[in-house]
Amino acid sequence: MRVFAIGLTICLSLASGCKSTGSRPLLIPKDVLAQVEEFAAVLLEEETTPGFVLGIATRDGHWIQGFGQRAFDDPRLPDSTTLFEIGSISKVFTALLLLEAEAQGEVQLDDPLAQHVPAGFTVPEAGQPIRLMHLAMHASGLPRMPVRFKSKDPADPYAGFPPNQTFDWLMTTRVKSPPMTNYVYSNFAVGILGEVLVRVANSESYGDLLQQRLAQPLGLRDTTIQLTADQQLRVAQGHDGGMTPVPNWTLDVFAGAGAIRSTMTDMLTFGLSQTDPNPIHAQAQVVRFEPENPGVNMALGWHVNVDTGVLWHNGQTGGYHSFLAVAPESGLVVCVLSNSSDGSCELLANGCFQLMCGREAMPPMTIRRSGHPSVEQVEKLVGSYKIGPMATFSITTEDGRVYAQLTFQPRIRIYPDDDAGLTYHYRNIDAEITFAQDETGRITDLTLHQGGRDLPGPRTEPAASK
């Protein structure tokens, strides 16, 4: 079991629920804190992340607590000033920059995108033009990513592309459905919007525009793209879902879709600013698109819970995961920032939000627990297993962790179901792997269980552990 740390970095007054009572504010309820700390311990024990920071705020105060450590080789506790990549929560900021541009007279929400692309470029259409506001609501019909996008570096997939590359990709993209027809989550669309806003503002970069029109006016000192020397010292090391350290992402292209870094102090400050928004930002909270699938409404940048009206967005990069929820009516804000791409911390944040509203956490704050097989048993699994003519599983280990890599796919960590160490499961993928052994204890084959199918794979050769 990994030893973990919990640190209360800030603890101020909180209202105990979603409704403002007008009575004297209370600290976070003890029963909520107990459930938070219990589940946080599970997240760390299960190595879903080296560490994370959880924050809660109302109009009466805020509470921030760090858990774990900044990296497995860095025992420092993450705190209110630790920087994380917030990933797609950046899309909320880009939507607000769209409204700021409209207030400046640079654009209108319903301007056709074709009106703001560089000369010589065209915009695909399917029956009607794509408008700027469509880009901010995943309602444009543009795909999640350009069909011709090909990463130059899988570890830093957006590096090496200039910001205006988006318009080249746009020229060769087909729109499958008219705008406002289907919800299609699109990094491509919001990346284009960010670049359009930089152009109409005659700004040097998306980062500069962010500072001038949002970060500085809202008092967000550590919400940025380009880090200062001081900020670089406060960045939590990112890790992939298998707990391997990974580099920070470089998003010159698609900056508006996911390039922002921030701290918990800034994220709560931002969230609270949206509970009593100025007239410009208030327009971002108006539901403008109600797709049948998924069951969530869309405002500008924000996903909106159909039943409660709560605004939310999450984010994930190669080494980080984040979640932000804002209830404008009650003034409740909950945020989590984690330094791994495993999304289990989102269960904690979502559950904490519901508990603060006086409801049971649904779904419950639980994750599948892992067994603890011996090092000897784990090492016996190492090898190659052929499950098809062109498909081979490579099973490797690193620091006692087990990884499975299928041909042409990334290496992914798998977790033991029990101490016997013969049945393993994935996290965030509905699949299991079982191993078979002979009477001598030698592993002879594996079976992949996924999508109702059982794919056997005899062992072909041992593979070296990393």
Q: Is the pLDDT of residue 255 over 90?
A: yes
Token pair listed for 401: 């962790």
pLDDT score at 13? 27
The pair phi, psi for residue 297, each rounded to 5°, is -90, 160
Q: Is the pLDDT of residue 26 over 80?
A: no
Match 């506001």 to its residue by tokens: 133
The stretch 273-287 carries a mean pLDDT of 97
Q: Which of 303, 334, 263, 298 is nearest to 57 (CA)?
A: 334
The stretch 420-425 carries a mean pLDDT of 96
How far does Cα 190 stand from its chain's mean position?
15
Reported as a single tens digit per residue, the pLDDT across 315-335 is: 999 999 999 999 999 999 999
Query: What is the fold of 85-356?
Result: Beta-lactamase (3.40.710)
Q: Average pLDDT over the chain, rounded to whole?
A: 91
Q: Is the pLDDT of residue 156 over 60?
A: yes
**Angle 37-43-45 (CA atoms, 0-180°, nearest 5)?**
100
Q: What DSSP element (H or E) covers 32?
A: helix 30-45
Query: What is the fold of 375-461?
Result: Lipocalin (2.40.128)
% of residues, the chain, pLDDT over 70:
93
The stretch 440-448 carries a mean pLDDT of 95
pLDDT score at 309? 94
Query: What whole-number distance in Å separates Cα of residue 336 and Cα of residue 349?
Result: 6
Query: What whole-number distance in Å separates Cα of residue 8 and Cα of residue 340?
Result: 21
For 460, other C-beta atoms within 10 Å of its C-beta total 13
Q: Is the pLDDT of residue 393 over 60?
A: yes
The stretch 299-309 carries a mean pLDDT of 96
Alpha helices by DSSP H, 154-284: 165-171, 187-200, 206-210, 216-218, 229-233, 255-258, 264-273, 279-282
Q: Which segments of 104-186 are extended strands (E)? A: none
Single-letter amino acid, residue 123: V
The stretch 296-306 carries a mean pLDDT of 96
Q: Which of 84, 336, 104 is nearest to 224 (CA)?
A: 84
pLDDT score at 25? 40
The stretch 408-419 carries a mean pLDDT of 92
Reported as a single tens digit per residue, the pLDDT across 333-363 is: 999 999 999 999 999 999 999 999 989 888 8
Residue 28: band (very low, low, confident or very high) from pLDDT cuts 50, 70, 90: confident
Query: What whole-number distance in Å separates Cα of residue 179 and Cα of residue 293?
Result: 15
Max avg pLDDT among 77-86, 143-152, 388-397, 421-430:
77-86
Q: What's the chain's Rg over C-alpha atoms?
A: 23
The pair phi, psi for residue 239, each rounded to 5°, is -135, 145
The stretch 38-63 carries a mean pLDDT of 95
Q: Which of 156, 353, 153 is nearest to 246 (CA)?
A: 156
pLDDT score at 292? 86
Match 């990094």 to its residue by tokens: 187
Alpha helices by DSSP H, 317-396: 345-356, 375-380
The stretch 230-239 carries a mean pLDDT of 97
pLDDT score at 8? 34
Where does residue 197 rank: exposed (0-12), middle (13-18), buried (19+ CB within 10 A)?
buried
Query: What whole-number distance in Å separates Cα of residue 95 and Cα of residue 194?
Result: 9
Single-letter amino acid, residue 106: E
Q: Is the pLDDT of residue 18 over 50?
A: no
Q: Which residue has the higher pLDDT, 270 or 174?
A: 270
Q: Which of 160, 104, 103, 111 is nearest to 133 (CA)?
A: 111
Query: What whole-number distance in Å separates Cα of residue 268 and Cα of residue 246?
Result: 26
Reported as a single tens digit per residue, the pLDDT across 363-376 is: 889 999 999 999 99
Domain coordinates in residue numbering, the chain:
85-356, 375-461
Residue 3: band (very low, low, confident or very high) from pLDDT cuts 50, 70, 90: very low
Q: Is the pLDDT of residue 191 over 80?
A: yes
The stretch 204-232 carries a mean pLDDT of 97
Q: Is the pLDDT of residue 257 over 90?
A: yes
Q: Is the pLDDT of residue 465 over 80?
A: no
CB contact burial 342-372 (16+ within 10 A = b; e otherwise): bbbbbbbbbbbbbbbbeeebeeebebeebee
Contact predicate 58/332, CB 8 Å: yes
Contact predicate 352/334, CB 8 Å: yes
Residue 410: band (very low, low, confident or very high) from pLDDT cuts 50, 70, 90: confident
pLDDT score at 176? 83
Reported as a single tens digit per residue, the pLDDT across 238-254 is: 999 889 999 999 999 99
Is 414 strand, coil or helix? Answer: strand
Q: Is the pLDDT of residue 202 over 90?
A: yes
Residue 295: band (very low, low, confident or very high) from pLDDT cuts 50, 70, 90: confident
The stretch 155-164 carries a mean pLDDT of 91
For 280, other C-beta atoms within 10 Å of its C-beta total 14
pLDDT score at 463? 52
